[in-house]
Structure 1
Amino acid sequence: MATNTLAPQPRYIWQHPAWPALVFDAVAMAPELDLARMEQGKLLGLLEAIGLGQAQEVRRELWVQEAIATAAIEGEKLNLESVRSSVAHRLGLTDAPSHDRHVDGLVLVMQDAIENHQSTLDLDRLCRWQSALFPGGTSGITRIAVGRLRNHADAMQIVSGPLGREVVHYEAPPSSQVTGQMEQFLAWFEATRPTQGAAPNLHGVARAALAHLWFESIHPFEDGNGRLGRALVDMALVQDMYAHDHGADVSQVRVFGMAGQMLKTRAAYYDGLNTAQRIRQPKPRGATIDVTPWVRWFVQAFVQGCRTCQTVVRQAVDKSAFRLQAAQCGLNARQHKVLDRMLEAGNAELGGGFLGGMTPDKYARVTGTSKATATRDLTDLLAKGLLRGQGAGKATRYAVNVPGWQQAAETSN
């Protein structure tokens, strides 16, 4: 007697009969896409208005923040000084990179995606990016396949939760399908590349959203897919920026804060991807796959990323004005060193700030001087209007007196 075996119901986006025909409602999204273009233009306009030196400082700070954020999304905490050193080297500001090959590899991938955005994106290039992320051929202490697409027989799953109680959020196509799927993706990425002066068939920010979803859905490598997918976002956004000259010197900025925004809203980012990657109806039909909610989330994140970058630009202008003021105050070397450290820590409102403010004890440690000298130096800086104090007596904490900047609380991380 024959057994009637029912085929398993498709669960994931790549099992949809229309895959990979991803579409979104361009009419419904028009106001948000217009807003994205406006915020992008504001950022470029701000950068055009400041000098080359300040623009370089902004560019370095944005790269540092994005490198740290894209790693943090994956649960990796990078050393800040190593990232700063590597970024400065890649931007030609120092001769030597950091001593952390892992950090250098990530920054190198970002640089190639952004600065060589006009070069063809092919499979060999992606494999070299993935290899750069894992210079020792390991992820942690686990050996992984580097520089090539995954080929293991086991399912590629995105899971969370403790061992034995894992939750499967997504299962990617089997390894046997990855080569063909990547060929389709890369052909689409090149075919939809924006061309300067030509009317685009696809809005550049929406294209970046679709590219990220498509790449992450294939999940072509054994590890590093998230970082590579976000590098592709940067590449797509820079291609869009260069195709749409906003009248600004676009060479001064090539990062729009997407990784930072994704980190701030990591739960929503993962939820958005997870929702878009799952089939919600038991028998999917249609010639296309509507991913409008994902594109909407991505565009809104882009808008917020641009606004955060605008704030970073304004912060750079604040730093420059403060340094000019300090240069006219006849400070000693100790005072300059401490003020530079406090400025580097940034504005607490943006997640920076010198933890708990400056105190005589901290000042003495930073400068290698006595507490009495530290107290005199701080009192002098306060009198000259370069610091502002909070509290009284031994409980006094000092912050740089930059208008609008907040002091980091003692309990900040």
Structure 2
Amino acid sequence: MIWNWQKDDWPEFDYDKAAIEPLERLFLKASGEFVGAFRHVAAADKDLLRIELISDEALKTSEIEGEILNRDSLQSSLRNQFGLGMEDRRVTPKERGIAEMMVDLYEGFDGQLSHETLFSWHRMVMAGERRVQTIGQYRAHEDPMQIVSGPFGRQKVHFEAPPSARVPMEMERYVDWFNRASAVEQASSGPLTRAGIAHLYFESIHPFEDGNGRIGRALSEKALAQGLGQPTLIALAYTIERNRKRYYEMLERASKSNEITHWLVWFAETVLEAQRTTLRRVEFYIAKARFYETFADRLNERQAKVIARMFREGVDGFEGGLSARNYISIAGGSTATTTRDLQHLVEIGALVRTGERRYTRYFLNLSGAS
């Protein structure tokens, strides 16, 4: 197999601008809609929403790599990073490290990229990692850097990166490209194009022993933020994680050619989906605030506990809706008490009821809050 970096035109990526331009316009339009929606979030709630959105990105970019982190601990670390509270002592190095990278990305989005920035991010995402020999530096091992799957002896090679000896030269060229592209992108292409190339280009070099995916996605978000002139808070990793198999398939396909129109279109559509998800979550957060303004003083302790749990499920809510059994498992109490609690929530307009008997389910009535 001849990989993209082995071809004569590397790293001169070719693509059909006409295929991307309509998506670039949609991206800019949706960015304006997000800014407008975010303005409607109460000032006191903006930091809380920012923590929620960034923590979800940190969780999902880690989950893509098979690493499961604790949401509460991660949010505790983020609050500390933003100066909003003291960090929980139970926060692990991995949770603290990814939180540090996300905050550095958010606060320093407009800064030029440097090798030291990348080394610093690598130290953050590799915090607590003992299996990796070289942390905070580009890889230097002689073995091929391959992405493989399957049992030993019958492994399939999905990609092989340039040998370690070439990495310093490749990354010198990458950093120079990233910073030059930032200066000219508005005239030559657009944020989506630059972010898509930034991710693919970085992953094709695969400069670190581990952590390349998390850093590569952070570089995409940095490129998007620079294109807009502000942090995006976009749910990129959240969206990629929901279709992780397709993400890896598209990266593998794009690594075989430097004609990357198909990759850029897919990446752009993924970013647009991520924007829609982020906008939905902001609107959900606004609706949540209105819900509590309307109903908070009308909920007993059990009801308040269940409602808080339902909101914690996010925009999608409980799969299939809340059942009486769910209610009991969250709040405790008898079947009769649960029936009265649920009936009261429906009567005041906090919940909407669907179905009958054992198929009865309850959903938050966000449109009923004034």
Confirm or deny a common fold (TM above 0.5).
Answer: yes
Counterpart in 2 of 1:326? 295
Query: Could you tell me how far apart the structure 1 residues matched to 2:239 and 2:222 are?
Result: 17
Pairwise CA distance, 1:318: 1.5
Q: Is the 8 A contact 2:281 2:315 kept in 1?
A: no
More displaced stretch, 268-277 vs 379-388: 379-388
SS of 2:188's equivalent in the other structure is coil
Aligned residue in 2 for 1:295: 264
Q: Does 1:73 align with 2:64?
A: yes
Q: Percent identity?
A: 35
> Does residue 346 in structure 1 map to residue 298 in structure 2?
no
Superposition TM-score, scaled by structure 1 size: 0.81
**Residues 53-78 of structure 1 deviation map (CA, whole Å, 9 limit, x = unaligned):** 44434323321321222122222232
CA separation in 2, counterparts of 1:100 and 1:338?
29
- CA separation of 1:362/1:29 partners in 2, compared to 1, >3 Å: closer, same or farther? closer
Query: Unpaired segments of 5 or more residues in structure 1?
Result: 1-9, 243-249, 280-288, 405-413
- Per mean C-alpha deviation after superposition, the further-off stretch among 389-398 and 144-153 is 389-398
Distance in 2 separating the partners of 1:157 and 1:272: 17
Cα deviation for residue 112 of structure 1 reads 0.9
CA distance in 1, matches of 2:183, 2:239: 24
Match of residue 316, structure 1, among 246, 270, 285 = 285
1:184 CA drift (Å): 0.7
CA positional deviation for 1:114? 2.1
Q: Which amino acid aligns with 1:357?
A: L
1:324 and 1:220 mapped to 2: Cα distance?
50
Structure 1 position 179 matched with structure 2 position 168: yes
- 2:235, 2:277 within 8 Å by CA — same for their partners in 1? yes
Shift of 1:148: 1.4
Check the 8 A contact 2:80/2:87 in 1, yes or no: yes
Matched, 1:112 2:104: yes
Q: 1:271 to 1:394 in 2, by over 3 A?
A: closer
Letter in 2 for 1:273: L
Q: 1:30 to 1:400 in 2, by over 3 A?
A: closer
**Shift in CA distance, 43/19, structure 1 to aligned 2, threshold 3 Å:** same
Q: Is the 8 A contact 1:58 1:312 kept in 2?
A: no
Cα distance in 2 for residues equivalent to 1:86 and 1:376: 40
TM-score (norm 2): 0.89
Does residue 135 of structure 1 match 2:127?
yes
The farther-off stretch of 298-307 and 119-128 is 119-128
The aligned amino acid for 1:81 is: D
Instruction: Tell me the CA shift for residue 45 of structure 1.
Output: 2.1
- Higher share of residues assigned helix: 2
CA spacing shift, 1:118–1:36, aligned 2, 3 Å: closer
Aligned-partner residue type, residue 301 of structure 1: T
1:75 aligns to what SS in structure 2?
coil
How far the C-alpha of 1:238 sits from its partner, in A, is 1.0
Shift of 1:31: 1.8
Match of 2:240 among 254, 262, 284: 262
Matched with 1:398 is: 362
8 Å Cα contact 1:106-1:132 kept in structure 2:
yes
Contact 1:151 1:176 in 2 (8 A): yes
Taking structure 1 as reference, are residues 26 and 397 closer, same or farther at Cα in structure 2, changes over 3 Å only? closer
The alignment partner of 1:290 has SS state of coil
Q: Tell me, what secondary structure is at the counterpart of 1:209?
A: helix
Distance 1:171 1:391 in 2: 54
Q: How far apart in 2 are the matches of 1:387 and 1:32? A: 38
User: Contact conserved, 1:137 with 1:144, CA < 8 A, in 2?
Assistant: no
Match among 141, 148, 158 for residue 147 of structure 2: 158
3-state SS of paired residue (1:117): coil
- Residue 203 of structure 1 corresponds to which residue in structure 2? 190
Note the 1:351-370 alignment, pairs <5 A. 352-353=317-318, 357-359=322-324, 362-367=326-331
CA distance in 2, matches of 1:390, 1:268: 35
Equivalent position to 1:33, from 24, 28, 33: 24
Residue 355 of structure 1 and its aligned partner are, at CA, apart by 7.6
Q: In structure 1, what is the equivalent of residue 73 of structure 2?
A: 82
Q: Which has the larger radius of gyration?
A: 1
**Matched AA of 1:337:** K
8 Å contact kept, 2:239–2:274: yes
Kept in 1: contact 2:353–2:363 (CA 8 A): yes
Whether the aligned pair in 1 keeps the contact of 2:236 and 2:270 (CA below 8 Å) is: yes
